[in-house]
Amino acid sequence: DVKVTQSSRYLVKRTGEKVFLECVQDMDHENMFWYRQDPGLGLRLIYFSYDVKMKEKGDIPEGYSVSREKKERFSLILESASTNQTSMYLCASGQGGVYEQYFGPGTRLTVT
């Protein structure tokens, strides 16, 4: 079974803090994704990566950056957390092309 793990299930941070969310997949997938999920808005793509050190902006990249130094690991960075970044963050991985994505359990981030 594909396994996608995220470093924390729940996280509470203060406004202005730098926040790191880590994601690891064990299936040698080329693609990795970061989404945020908010009630009524579905999943919105923040960034995705199709190879090591490669990244592309998604629909809502403002206030976020990413890092992919190894194929299995994709990190989401909030340089200076703000209250409007309080959300559920979901990481996913998938093979290249039109294959399905495999999701981690999510990190519920609260910024106070």
Which residues of this protein are in contact with another protein, per CB under 8 A? 4, 30-31, 33, 35, 40-43, 45, 48, 50, 90, 92, 94-106
CB-wise, 21 or 90, nearer to another protein? 90
Q: Give min distance, CB of 102 to another protein, in A.
A: 8
What is the secondary structure of 5-60 as a DSSP string?
Answer: EES-SEEEE-TT--EEEEEEESS--SEEEEEEEETTTEEEEEEEEEETTEEEE-S-
Is 21 or 94 the residue whose CB approaches another protein more closely?
A: 94
Q: In this complex, which beta carbon is closest to another protein, that of residue 75 or of residue 101?
A: 101
Contacts of 99 (CB under 8 A, 6+ apart): none
Considering the complex, what minimum distance in angstroms separates the CB of residue 80 from another protein? 27
CB atoms within 10 A of CB 41: 10
Q: How far is the CB of 106 from another protein (least distance, A)?
A: 5
